[in-house]
């Protein structure tokens, strides 16, 4: 018996839409990363991009636990000497909430060209609307990521 290795013809990509309102950032991003990688499919292979497209809406309503919104710092570099810039997550959530979700998911996919191709399938929006209705996305619910209020 030979080991099955998927070919590009075997991969069927579906579109999932996830409402991030009230979800914990880390739990949400692990599920999104699994969908992007294709780990929920029986044809999953770690060396291929078998994942689906993921749309995350209401990224501005995502929750950070244990006071991380004030303690956690996002770093970026301008590319110039001494150009390390840091931003608190509270400021980042106010200005670019979709970047908070994108950074969390980026840390959970491979750090290679394969991971970059997976991240291109992630669409994050701060509000409840998205322009991908023509792709007929399916609602994907993550009950374990909901924050009990």
What pLDDT is recorded for position 24? 93
Q: Which residues contact 2 (CB under 8 A, 6 or more apart)?
A: none
84 strand-pairing partners: 77
d(CA 58, CA 80): 34
What pLDDT is recorded for position 144? 79
d(CA 123, CA 89): 20
d(CA 137, CA 149): 28
Out of 3.90.1180.10, 3.40.47.10, 3.40.50.10860, 3.40.50.2000, which CATH number does the structure's domain 15-63+96-128 have? Answer: 3.90.1180.10
What pLDDT is recorded for position 81? 97
What pLDDT is recorded for position 57? 96
pLDDT tens sequence for the chain (149 residues): 888 889 989 999 999 999 999 999 999 999 999 999 999 999 999 999 999 999 999 999 999 989 999 999 999 999 999 999 999 999 999 999 999 999 999 999 999 999 999 999 999 999 999 999 999 999 998 887 777 65
- H-assigned helices in 1-149: 25-37, 68-71, 89-95, 97-106, 113-119
What pLDDT is recorded for position 149? 53
Tokens of 51: 């994942």
56 strand-pairing partners: 18, 124
**In contact, 108 and 27? CB cutoff 8 Å:** no
Buried b or exposed e, range 12-21, using 16+ CB within 10 angstroms = eeebbbbbbe
How many CB atoms are closer than 10 A to CB 58?
20
pTM attached to this predicted model:
0.90
d(CA 116, CA 24): 24
């Amino acid at each position: 018996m030979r080991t099955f290795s998927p070919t590009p013809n075997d991969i069927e990509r579906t579109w999932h839409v996830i409402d991030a309102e009230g979800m914990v950032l880390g739990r949400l991003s692990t599920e999104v990363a699994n969908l992007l990688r294709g780990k929920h499919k029986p044809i999953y292979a770690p060396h291929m991009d078998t994942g689906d497209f993921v749309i995350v809406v209401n990224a501005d309503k995502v929750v950070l636990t244990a006071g991380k919104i004030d303690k956690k710092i996002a770093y970026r570099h301008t590319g110039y000497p001494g150009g390390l810039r840091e931003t608190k997550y509270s400021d980042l959530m106010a200005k670019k909430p979709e970047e908070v979700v994108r950074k969390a998911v980026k840390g959970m996919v491979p750090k290679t060209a394969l991971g970059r191709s997976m991240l291109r399938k992630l669409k994050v929006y701060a509000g409840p609307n998205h322009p991908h209705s023509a792709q007929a996305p399916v609602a994907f619910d993550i009950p374990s990521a909901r924050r009990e209020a």
